[in-house]
Amino acid sequence: MAELLRCENVWKGYGGKQVLMDFNLQVDGGRIVGLLGPNGCGKTTFMKLVNGLLVPNQGQILIDGYAPGPESKARVSYLPDANYLPDWMKVEDLVVMVADFFPDFDAAKAIAMLSDLKISGLERLKTLSKGTKEKVQLILAMSRQARLYMLDEPIGGVDPAARDYILNTIIGNYNENAAVIISTHLIMDIEQVLDEAVFLNNGQVMLHKSVDAIREEDGKSVDDLFREVFRC
Amino acid sequence: MGWQLNKNQPIYLQLVAELQSRIVSGVYRPGGKIDAVRDLAAEAAVNPNTMQRALAELEQSGLLRAERTAGRFVTEDAELIASVRRNLAQEKINAFMWDMSTLGYRREEITALMRETVEGEAPDGAPPKEIMEGERTHG
């Protein structure tokens, strides 16, 4: 399977504080990868670096062979951890706007998903609840035919039923040429959807293994392993 | 139909077990076509690669047969299905015997208790109500 993401010896610090230290990660097409780690371990920094919102101090990042830039952004669908959309806009206008930005955006798919989750296109983003805003952003991200989906905490604020719908969308959207990277603390909810789990600690990858290999070799779920490794 | 997955065993092994039980119980008929990987994965809410791995395992054992373009089919080999069914039953019995032994029951006591339970059926031969319901939720 083709390699879609390669991070080599990436370093990133803010001021005196090092966040990523010699970070290495490789993700192949057809994989759904969980990016897991305690608060402040560097998950969001990694996501921002891949999406060109931050520049590494050292090291190389390649997305489908391209350094972060217009070519990579055309291939990566990124769901940031914070609201990035103008909140005075109506949901239906947001769909049109995102469609303008990305040729791989499937507006019909977005509209179908909005209707599945009973979100009206006529509402302004700012009038929606926190969870519904998150659903809108996720729908916009999942409606692209991207090579790499990077979802930063996609299910944190949504109710369990919508969580199931979102996970089903990720499964239904599966494509052997595309990869999905999901960062989350809700390991138990996404565990069975993942191929691989990546544990991040102090800015480095401390474990990168398939979910079933963890269950086979450690005899426990990824969630249990996480609680054991990161016990406070 | 629910796919009940526990959190400690490898997921693909649990999928293999569920698919086997559907085949030996006749939910998936001999010679019948089964759903595509993607649909099965969505139904079980698991990663498609994991479902693929489970299906490959069942192809290896002969319970399923893949045809290039047509999809995947359940074997028509009734003997194979019967022998897998028998093995699965044996595993359940072994597990049951083990559980009973942890309660301090000896073999003779277990068989005596089993006989009592089975012979406690209603005279017309219908099994006790609890067993019927237990079976229904199993499928």
Tens digit of each residue's pLDDT (9 = 90 or more) over B100-134: 999 999 999 999 999 999 988 655 555 555 555 54
Interface test with A, best of B18, B47, B52 (most A CBs within 10 A): B47
Report the SS3 class of residue A176: coil
Helix B37-44 vs helix A160-172: crossing angle, to nearest 10: 170
pLDDT in tens, B11-30: 999 999 999 999 999 999 99
CB-based contact A7:A63 (threshold 8 Å): no
Residue A1: burial class (beta carbons within 10 Å; 0-12, 13-18, 19+): exposed
Test B50 with A212 for CB contact under 8 angstroms.
yes
Check if B42 contacts A (Cβ < 8 Å): yes
Q: Tell me A66's DSSP state.
A: B
User: What average pLDDT does the segment A108-118 reach?
Assistant: 95
- Residue spans per domain, chain B: 1-103, 105-139
**CATH architecture under which domain B1-103 falls:** Orthogonal Bundle (1.10)
User: What average pLDDT does the segment A166-182 reach?
Assistant: 92
Strands A3-14 and A58-63: antiparallel
pLDDT at B21: 94
Predicted model pTM: 0.86
Interface test with A, best of B3, B8, B11, B43 (most A CBs within 10 A): B11
Q: Report the run of H or E that residue A24 belongs to, with start and end.
A: strand A17-28
Helix A211-218 vs helix A222-229: crossing angle, to nearest 10: 70
Six-digit token string for A138? 């996720």
Residue A148 pLDDT > 60, yes or no?
yes
CA distances from A90 to A99, A130, B70 (A): 14, 15, 45
Six-digit token string for A178? 């595309």
For chain A, the residues whose C-beta falls within 8 A of a C-beta of chain B are 30-32, 164, 167-168, 171-172, 174, 188, 191-195, 211-212, 215-216, 219-221, 223-224
Test B12 with A193 for CB contact under 8 angstroms.
no
Residue A144 pLDDT > 80, yes or no?
yes
3-state SS string over chain B?
A: CCCCCCCCCCHHHHHHHHHHHHHHCCCCCCCCEECCHHHHHHHHCCCHHHHHHHHHHHHHHCCEEEECCCEEEECCCHHHHHHHHHHHHHHHHHHHHHHHHHCCCCHHHHHHHHHHHHHCCCCCCCCCHHHHHHHHHHC
User: What average pLDDT does the segment A70-95 reach?
Assistant: 94
Mean pLDDT of chain A: 94
pLDDT at A162: 87
pLDDT in tens, A175-222: 889 999 999 999 999 999 999 999 999 999 999 999 999 999 999 999
Backbone angles phi, psi at B73, to 5 degrees: -125, 150
A123 CA to chain B: closest CA distance, Å?
A: 31
pLDDT band at B138 (very low <50, low <70, confident <90, very high): very low
B45 CA to chain A: closest CA distance, Å?
A: 6
pLDDT at B127: 55
User: What average pLDDT does the segment B63-76 reach?
Assistant: 93
Test A174 with B5 for CB contact under 8 angstroms.
no
The fraction of chain B above a pLDDT of 90, given in percent, is 75
pLDDT band at A232 (very low <50, low <70, confident <90, very high): confident
pLDDT at A157: 82
Check if B38 contacts A (Cβ < 8 Å): yes
Q: Report the run of H or E that residue A183 belongs to, with start and end.
A: strand A179-183
Q: Report the largest interatomic distance among the alpha carbons of chain A, rounded to a whole angstrom.
A: 51
pLDDT band at A81 (very low <50, low <70, confident <90, very high): confident
Distance CA B23, CA B28 (A): 5
